[in-house]
Amino acid sequence: MFAKVASAIALRLKGANFLGAGQGGDQTIAGDDANNAAIAKLLAEIPLTRPKDAAFGHLATPIAFSLAKPLKQPPQAIAGEIANALKDLEIFAKVEAAGGYVNFTLSDLFLDRETNAALKLGANFAKSSTKTSEKTAQNSIGNNVTYEKILLEFVSANPTGPLHIGHARGAFYGDALLRLARHIGYNVTAEYYINDAGNQIELLGRSIYFRARSELLGVKEDFPEECYQGEYILDLAKDALARFGKAAFTNGADLAELSLWAKDKMLEWIKRALKDAGVEFDNFVSERALYDRWNETRAKLEANDALYTDQDGKVWLKTAEKGDAKDRVVVRENGAPTYLAGDIIYHGDKYSRGYDRYINIWGADHHGYIARVKAAVEYLGGDSARLEVLLSQMVALLKGGEPYKMSKRSGNFVTMEEVGQETGYDALRFVFLTKRADTHLEFDIADLKREDSANPVYYVNYAHARICSLFEKRGFALDGFSDFAKIADEGRAELNGLADDAKDLLWAALTIGEAINEAFKARQPQLLTDFLYKLAVKTHKFYADNRVIGNENEAKFAKILALVCMVIRLGLSLLGITAKTRM
Higher pLDDT, 135 or 110: 110
Among 17-21, 174-178, 269-273, 544-548, name the one with the lowest average pLDDT.
17-21
What pLDDT is recorded for position 198? 86
Q: In what order do the strands lie in the sheet with 92-98?
A: 59-61, 101-106, 92-98
pLDDT band at 48 (very low <50, low <70, confident <90, very high): confident
Q: Give the single-character DSSP code of 94.
A: E
Rounded mean pLDDT, 519-529: 97
What angle (nearest 5°) sits at the alpha carbon of residue 49, between those of residues 47 and 51?
150
pLDDT tens column, 457-514: 999 999 999 999 999 998 888 888 888 988 877 656 788 888 999 999 999 999 999 9
Query: 218 exposed, middle or buried (CB, 10 Å; 0-12, 13-18, 19+)?
Result: exposed
pLDDT band at 7 (very low <50, low <70, confident <90, very high): low
Give per-residue burial for 557-568: e unless 16+ CB within 10 Å, then b.
bbbbbbbbbbbb
> Of the candidates 342, 346, 312, 308, which has an alpha carbon nearest to the alpha carbon of residue 327?
308
Q: Give the single-character DSSP code of 45.
A: S
Residue 332 has pLDDT above 60, yes or no: yes
**Cα–Cα dist 410/284, whole Å:** 24
Rounded mean pLDDT, 410-421: 85
CATH of 2-106, picked from 3.30.1360.70, 3.40.47.10, 1.10.1040.10, 3.40.50.620, is 3.30.1360.70
Topology (CATH) of 115-120+453-574 = Isoleucyl-tRNA Synthetase; Domain 1 (1.10.730)
> Of the candidates 516, 190, 520, 187, which has an alpha carbon nearest to the alpha carbon of residue 356?
187
pLDDT band at 40 (very low <50, low <70, confident <90, very high): low
Higher pLDDT, 144 or 287: 287
What pLDDT is recorded for position 490? 65
What pLDDT is recorded for position 18? 33
Instruction: List where CATH 1.10.730.10 sits in the chain.
Output: 115-120+453-574
pLDDT band at 146 (very low <50, low <70, confident <90, very high): low
Instruction: List where CATH 3.30.1360.70 sits in the chain.
Output: 2-106
pLDDT band at 136 (very low <50, low <70, confident <90, very high): low
